[in-house]
């Protein structure tokens, strides 16, 4: 004897993302750009977007550092070079120049301009209070586009009902 269950059809639900919160935690070129690209793409699609910069990701919104972000070459498997070679003098600078050239060829803005463009679209930019305190950063050291310095709990409240992306 076999049992047959009567299963009702499940109505289709609109699963489109309405809000995304992106955490940028690393301060290298290949780690900052993906978060910025995701935020820019979200805003272009009409999706609410918030960026939360924590730990070394704060460099992307630090007035003195955001224009000097480098490619991490030591232990970066995406470069397909031995770890020891990535640590040689000049390798990081060379790879950074190469990536900046490639980014320019694709007509992507530099990090400072990209962050400003994303802010101008209405995306929220937030610095992590714990990281700001950890590194002894003052509010006036951060770029003007930063909306606020907030706690992790405040970030979670803001992210509620949306998707969180950790880069």
Q: Which helix (H) or strand (E) holds 58?
A: none
Whether 8 has a pLDDT exceeding 70, the answer reads: no
DSSP 8-state symbol, 88 = S
* Phi, psi of 124, rounded to the nearest 5 degrees: -90, 140
Measured between alpha carbons, how far is 69 from 51 in angstroms, rounded to an integer?
18
Whether 4 has a pLDDT exceeding 70, the answer reads: no
Instruction: Give the pLDDT confidence score for residue 13 in this predicted structure.
Output: 60
Whether 129 has a pLDDT exceeding 90, the answer reads: yes
CATH class of the 19-68+111-166 domain in this structure: alpha beta
Q: What is the pLDDT of residues 93-104, one digit of tens each?
A: 999 999 899 989
Instruction: Give the pLDDT confidence score for residue 18 in this predicted structure.
Output: 96
DSSP 8-state symbol, 109 = P
SS (H, E, C) 143-163: CCCCCEEECHHHHHHHHCCCE
Number of Cβ within a 10 Å radius of residue 133 = 10
- Mean pLDDT of the residues in the chain: 92
Whether 2 has a pLDDT exceeding 90, the answer reads: no
Instruction: Give the pLDDT confidence score for residue 39 in this predicted structure.
Output: 97
Q: What is the pLDDT of residues 39-77, one digit of tens each?
A: 999 999 999 999 999 999 999 999 999 999 999 989 888
């Amino acid at each position: 004897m076999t049992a047959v269950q009567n299963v009702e059809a499940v109505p289709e639900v609109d699963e489109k993302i309405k809000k995304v919160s992106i955490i940028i935690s690393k301060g290298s070129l290949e780690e900052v750009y993906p978060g910025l690209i995701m935020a820019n793409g979200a805003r272009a699609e009409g999706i609410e977007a918030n960026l939360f910069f924590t730990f070394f990701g704060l460099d992307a919104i630090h007035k003195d550092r955001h224009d000097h972000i480098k490619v991490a070459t030591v232990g970066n498997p995406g470069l397909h070079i031995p770890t020891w070679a990535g640590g040689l003098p000049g390798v990081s600078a060379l790879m950074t120049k190469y990536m900046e050239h490639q980014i320019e060829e694709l007509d992507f803005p530099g990090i400072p301009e990209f962050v400003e463009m994303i802010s101008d679209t209405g995306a929220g930019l937030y610095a992590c209070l714990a990281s700001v305190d950890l590194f002894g950063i003052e509010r006036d050291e951060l770029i003007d586009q930063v909306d606020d310095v907030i706690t992790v709990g405040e970030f979670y409240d803001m992210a509620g009902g949306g998707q969180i992306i950790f880069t």
